[in-house]
Amino acid sequence: MKYSRITVNPEQMGGVPCIRGLRIPVATVVGLLAEGLSAAEILAAYPDLEPEDIQEALLYAAEAVQEARMG
């Protein structure tokens, strides 16, 4: 699956996957959800994010886990 909202840039944030070139790692978004924050709370805390960013972060994380398991 190609991700339109996830970027990986070795020159930014050490190359960790981020949301749309922002300095917001996918792991941060997924971690906040895991801690119990709602999408609305995350969007309020990170105004540059869009609801679709959160959805794609979850899909990306799920695929990463699947690849690691099969890998």
Residue pair 19/6 in contact (Cβ under 8 Å)? The answer is: yes
25: β partners: 18
If one looks up domain 6-70 in CATH, what number appears? Answer: 1.10.10.10
Provide the pLDDT for residue 67: 83
pLDDT tens for the chain, 71 residues: list them: 689 999 999 999 999 999 999 999 999 999 999 999 999 999 999 999 999 999 999 999 999 998 887 76
Q: Name the 3-class secondary structure at 57.
A: helix
Provide the pLDDT for residue 2: 87
